[in-house]
Amino acid sequence: MRIRKLFRATLFATAALSAAAGLAFQICWYAFPLPEKYLDPTPVGPVVLARNGRPLLGLTDRNGQWTRPVRLKGISPWLQKATIAVEDRRFFEHRGIDPIAVFRAAGQNITRARVVSGASTLTMQLCRLLSPRPRTFTAKSIEAFRALQIESRLDKIEILERYLGLAPYGGNIRGVEAASRIWFGKSAADLCLPEAALLAGLPQSPSRLRPDRYPERAENRRATVLRAMVREGMITPAEFRSASEQPLGVRPLGSAADRWRSPMGRHVAWWALYRRPEGGRTTIDLDLQEVVEERALAHAATLPAKTDVSVVVIHVESGEIRALVGSTNFDDPADGQVNGALAWRSPGSALKPFLFAAAFSAGRLGPRSPVPDRPLDRRGYRPGNFRPGYAGTVTAARALQTSLNLPALRITEAVGISRCVGVLQSAGIRLPQDAAARGGLALATGALEVRLLDLTNAYATLAREGVQRAPRLFFDEEAPEHRALSKDVSAAITDILSVDHRAPNHPSSASGAFPAWFSWKTGTSSGSRDALAVGHNGTFAIGVWVGRFSGAGHPRYIGATAAEPLLATLFLHPALAVTRRPPEPPEIAIRRPLFAKRERLRVRSPSAGTVLLALDGRAVVRPAASRQAPGSWFLNGRLLTREEATRLELLPGTYVLLRVEQDGEAARAEFRVQ
């Protein structure tokens, strides 16, 4: 009877304690909710990737740890199995706490009178990684409680993914992706069985088992992991023996930074990190980047010492930046880290196609329209052509092909500087807000600085038949677009710039004909400080700049000889070449000619050979010309005042009357007074 009462009392006490414990657990569950940091994404260091996923540049996270994001599907199945086998073989069966492991650990600790096993599940270890604490019974209890909460919020796949993304793998390495890249130079998805087993064993004691310092310990731990996999039926004994015999094959941890810094694309990688501090996958094609860098370096070797070269390659259809070279020597302590593709430099004549396009778009000019190439004087501003001399009257196409300055200046003046600036900006070229005032007519000869990237993208606009699209550096980057020019105008400009108007032995031609088609324009800044060549072949737009970042000029910095050979070399490369030439463009409709055919300038009064009679000792002369344009009158070499130009009283003698208009055109008449 007494035993029965004792049994009932025990049951009652047990039930009461269980109820109290359950109530206390429920209270704690709601009183101490799971902190958001347990659910936040794994903190990672920024990494910039090429379009094929290879790293261009990577940095440690804010805690100085090498961490890289990776989804579970991007982790080798061998590593997933090895981790579960050695750390938590009933991971998919428990709900955060493994009761069997708890009883086993308790028995081992009691029999040996010391802590030899902690019974921590992967979920509990994840809690410890997220909130480190000293290894005490209280800490274990908190980890167990948090593990239950995590299991109620995340599924097993998410928990395993987070654990593998945070686990320590030696030194300052966190997560399997960083560990795989640093220790083996490959992605976590490509790990083989021996490599996966080695990594799976490191989190137990990453410092004591570091494979580059303690290879024997690491090898023994790998064998332990492999044996656990055999026990769980994950691998066969034969696979165990084969994997155990493989060398560790790890790299020294001291050169970890080199695993995340590609020798190519360093300027574009740092620029990408500047634009997006968290990094991301870029549009850079490493194979093409290698080609461009090699060609740029080889070309720079043919130029004067300390010459800098920058190149931009844009895929026309997508607007993707496929290759970018900021300079040919990133390690130059003076200015090697300057990104020439983003530097503001004078474009020389490289803007002229868009000024002609402005006139074409306004219906004022066409490729065959006559354009005067005569001296110009605007309040003391007397520009000239790159090569001395004047051609008189040429077609607009010829003026653009031969890059004549005076026709371009006249077109800019006639169309309007503001309209020209608007076309340039619409095509994708960034200009200052006061561009029209700052540049003036000299806009046509490169008075305003632009960036090579923007200039190259403007030529991509021509290739897209006038559609301007923002250049893209990241795959997930939006590329807004708008129509900047009409199809006909874009096709006309492209066709004009496609004509080979130079000698057959030019570097960009072969036997007088192009083996690959492209359209291009060169530019040379004042003082030969910048040499440019920019063009497109319908598929790619390429821009080349040659000069010195210091701004010092050199006689060899001429667009046609310093920059265009590299441009041609790139357009002729198989990775970039296009052989098909676009069809002939339609005629540009001209509504109101910009330069109507003018009457020939001549002195009408007095006409040449006239003999005037002096009445009362003087003859009255009223100078008159065939055109009523602004100009000046000279009599026997003397400039006449405004009053004299309307009425002269001349003594008997021989006189030469000269009329000079503002554009430099002149006419003369010799006459006598008797």
> 3-state DSSP: the chain helix, strand, coil percent, rounded to 5?
40, 15, 45
Angle of CA points 509, 512, 515, to nearest 5° = 50
Distance separating alpha carbons of residues 621 and 618, to the nearest angstrom: 10
66 forms bridges with which residues in the sheet?
173
The HSE-up count of residue 491 (CA atoms within 13 Å, CB side) is 11
Distance separating alpha carbons of residues 520 and 496, to the nearest angstrom: 9
Q: 373 phi and psi, to 5 degrees?
A: -115, 80
- Catalytic status, residue 349: yes
- Which residue, 449, 439, 405, 395, is CA-closest to 419? 439
Residue 582, helix vs strand vs coil: coil
634 forms bridges with which residues in the sheet?
639, 658
Distance separating alpha carbons of residues 20 and 155, to the nearest angstrom: 29
* Pairing outcome for strands 611-612 and 666-673: parallel
* Pairing outcome for strands 66-67 and 173-174: parallel
Q: 542 phi and psi, to 5 degrees?
A: -130, 135
Distance separating alpha carbons of residues 396 and 202, to the nearest angstrom: 73
- Which residue, 134, 132, 161, is CA-closest to 39? 161
Distance separating alpha carbons of residues 326 and 343, to the nearest angstrom: 9
From the candidates 76, 87, 426, 508, give the one annotated as an active-site residue: 87
Q: Give every CB contact of residue 436 below 8 A, 6+ residues apart in sequence.
A: 417, 418, 421, 443
Total number of residues shown for the chain: 674
- Which residue, 375, 391, 381, 370, is CA-closest to 660? 375
From the candidates 346, 349, 490, 508, give the one annotated as an active-site residue: 349
Angle of CA points 116, 119, 124, to nearest 5° = 130
Residue with tokens 């010829």: 398
- Catalytic status, residue 649: no
304 forms bridges with which residues in the sheet?
none
Q: 43 phi and psi, to 5 degrees?
A: -65, 135
Which residues are known catalytic residues?
A: 87, 349
